[in-house]
Amino acid sequence: MDKKEIQNITSIGIFLVLITLSFFVLKELLISILAGVILGFVFLPLYNFIQKKLKNKTLSAIIVCAIFLGGLIIPIWFLTPVVLNQSISVFISSQNIDFVSPLKSVFPGAFSSPEVTSEIARVMHSFVTNLTSGAMNAISNLLLQFPVIFLNLLVTFFIFFYVLRDNQEFVNYIKSVLPFKKEIETKIFKSSKDITSSIIYGQVIVGILQGLLVGIGFFIFGVPNALFFTILSVIAGIFPVIGATVIWIPLVLYLFLKGEFVSVIGITVFGILGSFFENSVKPIMIYKKTNVHPGIILLGMIGGIYFLGFLGFILGPLILAYLLIIIEIYRDKKVPGIFIQNV
In a domain, 308, yes or no: no
pLDDT at 143: 65
Region class of 259: left (phi > 0), else alpha (psi between -120 and 50), else beta: left
Judge contact between 213 and 271, C-beta under 8 A: no
pLDDT at 287: 45
DSSP one-letter code for 135: H
Local mean pLDDT, 10-residue blocks, the chain (343 residues): 72 85 82 83 86 88 88 75 69 62 60 63 66 64 71 87 87 76 72 72 78 88 83 79 78 79 87 78 56 72 77 76 76 60 57
pLDDT at 120: 64
In a domain, 48, yes or no: yes
Strand partners, 341: 291
Give buried/exposed letters for 281-310 (b at 16+ CB in 10 A, else e).
Answer: ebeeebebebbbbeebbbebbbbbbeebee
Nearest to 54 by CA among 38, 46, 39, 70: 46
In the chain the first and final C-alpha atoms are separated, in Å, by 45
In a domain, 98, yes or no: yes
In a domain, 261, yes or no: no
Domain count, the chain: 1
pLDDT at 137: 67
In a domain, 264, yes or no: no
In a domain, 262, yes or no: no
pLDDT at 343: 56
In a domain, 330, yes or no: no
Find the domain containing 49 and state its range. 29-177
In a domain, 142, yes or no: yes
pLDDT at 109: 61
